[in-house]
Copies of this chain bind each other. A is one copy, B any other.
């Protein structure tokens, strides 16, 4: 029994090691880093890497999924458990934009994979719940609609692209945008047209 479990555990460990190495390599050297270099940094052979990931897109998907699971999902759980709806909204916005800022290279490279819309679905549902909670409590302007939320994220992510260092500065524009979401600031908003259907809200 141990002998059959062993290779599987090894495989899982290898896959995880490759994902972490890819995450570090893309972060430091850019998303153009060849997979051979990722394999080297993970301490596995190139053949092993390709057994787990058929190409860079698959590796990018695995990296973004790992980031989301480790950084955003705990924030979602924490925010939903927060008795303060507004505080929960802030937690969730910080988690998403913070992840995009820290892992900007990977994030931009993964933008066109099918994964982002899937994760967006897992993110915007809870965010919408929290926004409604904050609105019901009078902590947030009442005229903000669910369809606005991906666009707010889009606005925040856009500031990363013009920053010399994406890890700096996003808190300033988040703070600015949060001021716009408070009921005290609210002037009537004109309607928005529909979003494009792809609409992962992340770029």
CA distance A168 to B191 in the complex (A): 8
List the number of copies, as a whole number: 2
Q: Is A150 an interface residue (CB 8 A)?
A: yes
> Shortest beta-carbon distance, A141 to chain B, in Å?
8
Q: Is A77 an interface residue (CB 8 A)?
A: no
Q: Is A7 an interface residue (CB 8 A)?
A: no
Instruction: Say which residue of B161, B164, B179, B194 sits within 8 Å of A180 (CB atoms).
Output: B179
C-beta contact mask, A157-190 vs B, less than 8 Å → 1, else 0?
1110111110111011101111110101111111
Residues A173 and B151 in contact, CB atoms below 8 Å apart: yes
Q: Count the A residues whose beta carbon is within 8 Å of the partner chain — how many?
A: 44
Instruction: Say which residue of B150, B162, B179, B190 sits within 8 Å of A171 (CB atoms).
Output: B190
Q: Which segment of A59-67, A80-88, A195-203 sits at the interface?
A: A195-203
Residues B154 and A172 in contact, CB atoms below 8 Å apart: no
A157-B158, A158-B157, A179-B180 as given contacts; A173 in contact with B192, CB under 8 Å: yes
Q: Is A44 an interface residue (CB 8 A)?
A: no
**Looking across the interface, which residue of chain B has its beta carbon closest to that of A144?**
B176
Chain B residues near A199 (CB, 8 Å)?
A: 162
Instruction: Report which A residues bind B (CB closer than 8 A).
Output: 148, 150-151, 154-159, 161-165, 167-169, 171-173, 175-180, 182, 184-197, 199, 201, 203
A/B interface sample: 8 pairs, CB < 8 A = A154-B162, A155-B155, A155-B156, A163-B195, A163-B196, A172-B192, A173-B192, A182-B185
List of 10 A-B pairs having minimum Cβ-Cβ separation, nearest first:
A168-B193, A158-B158, A185-B185, A180-B180, A169-B192, A155-B155, A179-B185, A169-B193, A172-B192, A171-B190
